[in-house]
Structure 1
Amino acid sequence: MQNGIKPTLYTDRTPEEYADARLMNTVAHHHVTTEREDALGCNHWPSDEFGYFGHYYYIGTPEPIEMFGDLARPSRAVDYRIYQPKLLKDFIERGGEVVYGPVEREMIEGISDAHDLTVVCTGKGPIGQMFGRDDRFSPFERPQRMLCVGLVKGITEPETRAVTMYFSPGAGELIEIPSWSFNGWCNALVLEKQIGGDLEILAKTKYQDDPRAFLDLLLEKLEKHYPTLYARIDREEFDLANSPLDILQGGVTPTVRQTCTTLDNGKMAVALGDVHAVVDPVLGQGANMASYAAVILGEEIVANDVFDQRFVEKFDTRRHDRVMSGTRWTNYMLENLAKLDPTLLEFIGGMAQSRALTDQFTEDFNHPEAQWDIFSSPERVRATVARMALPMAAE
Structure 2
Amino acid sequence: MASIGIVGAGTAGLHLGLKLLAQGIPVTLYSEQEPDALRVGRLLNTVTHHAPTRARERELWVDFWGVPELAMKRMSIHVQGPQPFSVQGRLSEPSLCVDYRVYQPRLAEAFVERGGKLEVVAVDPALLEKLAQRHTLMVVATGRSGLNAMFPRIPELSPHTRPPRLLFAALLKGVQMPQPLGMHFNLIPGQGEVFESQLITRHGRVPSTLIEAIPGTELAALISRKRDDDPAAFDATLLDIMRRFAPATYERIDPTEFGVRGPLDFLQGAFTPTVRRPWAQLGEGRFVMAVGDTHVTNDPVAGQGANGASASAFTLAHCIQDALLSERPFDETFCRDTEARMWAAVAPTAYWSNALLEPPPPHLIDTLVTASRDTYVADAFMSALVIPERILPVCASPESAAAFVTEARTPRADMLAATGALGWDTGTRIRPLAG
Aligned pair partner of 2:96 in 71, 76, 97: 76
- State the distance in 2 between where 1:76 and 1:26 align: 11
- State the distance in 2 between where 1:366 and 1:304 align: 32
| Match of residue 141 from structure 2 | 121
| Match of residue 141 from structure 1 | 161
| Match of residue 12 from structure 2 | none
The alpha-carbon distance between structure 1 residues 128 and 59, as it changes in their structure 2 partners (threshold 3 A), is: same
| Match of residue 417 from structure 2 | none
2:124–2:145 CA contact under 8 A, matched in 1: no
Aligned residues: 390
Residues 246-293 of structure 1 deviation map (CA, whole Å, 9 limit, x = unaligned) = 111111211100121122221121110001111111111000011111
Identity of paired residues, percent? 35
Q: CA deviation at 1:44?
A: 1.3
Give the 3-state SS of the residue equivalent to 1:129 in structure 2: helix
Q: Which amino acid aligns with 2:368?
A: I
In structure 2, stretches of 5+ residues that fail to align are: 1-20, 412-426, 429-435
| Match of residue 287 from structure 1 | 306
- State the distance in 2 between where 1:147 and 1:99 align: 32
Q: Which amino acid aligns with 1:308?
A: D
| Match of residue 165 from structure 1 | 185
Aligned pair partner of 1:249 in 268, 271, 275: 268
Q: CA deviation at 1:389?
A: 5.3
2:177–2:207 CA contact under 8 A, matched in 1: no
- Cα root mean square deviation, aligned: 2.1
Give the 3-state SS of the residue equivalent to 1:58 in structure 2: strand
| Match of residue 186 from structure 1 | 206
Residues 51-91 of structure 1 deviation map (CA, whole Å, 9 limit, x = unaligned) = 11121111113222111121112211111011111111111
| Match of residue 87 from structure 1 | 107
**TM-score using structure 1 length:** 0.92
Q: Given the alignment of the two structures, is residue 315 of structure 1 paired with residue 338 of structure 2, yes or no?
A: yes
The alpha-carbon distance between structure 1 residues 178 and 372, as it changes in their structure 2 partners (threshold 3 A), is: same
Aligned pair partner of 2:371 in 342, 345, 351: 351
| Match of residue 99 from structure 1 | 119
Q: CA deviation at 1:354?
A: 3.5
The alpha-carbon distance between structure 1 residues 358 and 267, as it changes in their structure 2 partners (threshold 3 A), is: farther
Q: Given the alignment of the two structures, is residue 13 of structure 1 paired with residue 33 of structure 2, yes or no?
A: yes
| Match of residue 11 from structure 2 | none
Q: Which amino acid aligns with 1:327?
A: A
- State the distance in 2 between where 1:359 and 1:322 align: 25
Segments of 4+ moved more than 6 angstroms: none
**TM-score using structure 2 length:** 0.84
1:261–1:269 CA contact under 8 A, matched in 2: yes
Q: Given the alignment of the two structures, is residue 38 of structure 1 paired with residue 61 of structure 2, yes or no?
A: no
2:50–2:387 CA contact under 8 A, matched in 1: no
> Comparing 202-211 with 277-286, which one deviates more in the overlay?
202-211
Q: CA deviation at 1:375?
A: 2.7
Q: Which amino acid aligns with 1:80?
A: Y
1:10–1:99 CA contact under 8 A, matched in 2: yes
- State the distance in 1 between where 2:60 and 2:408 align: 36
Q: CA deviation at 1:163?
A: 0.6
2:235–2:260 CA contact under 8 A, matched in 1: no
1:148–1:202 CA contact under 8 A, matched in 2: no
Q: Given the alignment of the two structures, is residue 333 of structure 1 paired with residue 356 of structure 2, yes or no?
A: yes
Q: Given the alignment of the two structures, is residue 235 of structure 1 paired with residue 266 of structure 2, yes or no?
A: no
Q: Given the alignment of the two structures, is residue 364 of structure 1 paired with residue 384 of structure 2, yes or no?
A: yes
1:23–1:248 CA contact under 8 A, matched in 2: yes
2:273–2:298 CA contact under 8 A, matched in 1: yes
Q: Given the alignment of the two structures, is residue 223 of structure 1 paired with residue 243 of structure 2, yes or no?
A: yes
In structure 1, stretches of 5+ residues that fail to align are: none
1:58–1:165 CA contact under 8 A, matched in 2: yes
> Comparing 273-282 with 150-159, which one deviates more in the overlay?
150-159
The alpha-carbon distance between structure 1 residues 389 and 321, as it changes in their structure 2 partners (threshold 3 A), is: farther
- State the distance in 2 between where 1:377 and 1:108 align: 46
1:321–1:369 CA contact under 8 A, matched in 2: no
Q: Which amino acid aligns with 1:66?
A: S
1:56–1:163 CA contact under 8 A, matched in 2: yes
- State the distance in 2 between where 1:252 and 1:358 align: 32
- State the distance in 2 between where 1:207 and 1:162 align: 27
- State the distance in 1 between where 2:403 and 2:208 align: 35
1:146–1:192 CA contact under 8 A, matched in 2: yes
Give the 3-state SS of the residue equivalent to 1:4 in structure 2: coil
- State the distance in 1 between where 2:265 and 2:391 align: 32
The alpha-carbon distance between structure 1 residues 127 and 154, as it changes in their structure 2 partners (threshold 3 A), is: same
- State the distance in 1 between where 2:22 and 2:87 align: 45
2:92–2:383 CA contact under 8 A, matched in 1: yes
Q: CA deviation at 1:303?
A: 2.2
Residues 333-373 of structure 1 deviation map (CA, whole Å, 9 limit, x = unaligned) = 11125xxx434323322322433332223222443122222
Q: Given the alignment of the two structures, is residue 324 of structure 1 paired with residue 347 of structure 2, yes or no?
A: yes
Give the 3-state SS of the residue equivalent to 1:55 in structure 2: strand
- State the distance in 2 between where 1:63 and 1:212 align: 33
Aligned pair partner of 1:266 in 285, 302, 308: 285
- State the distance in 1 between where 2:167 and 2:387 align: 25
Q: Which amino acid aligns with 2:205?
A: W
Q: CA deviation at 1:374?
A: 2.5
Aligned pair partner of 1:196 in 216, 228, 243: 216
1:207–1:244 CA contact under 8 A, matched in 2: no
2:174–2:259 CA contact under 8 A, matched in 1: yes
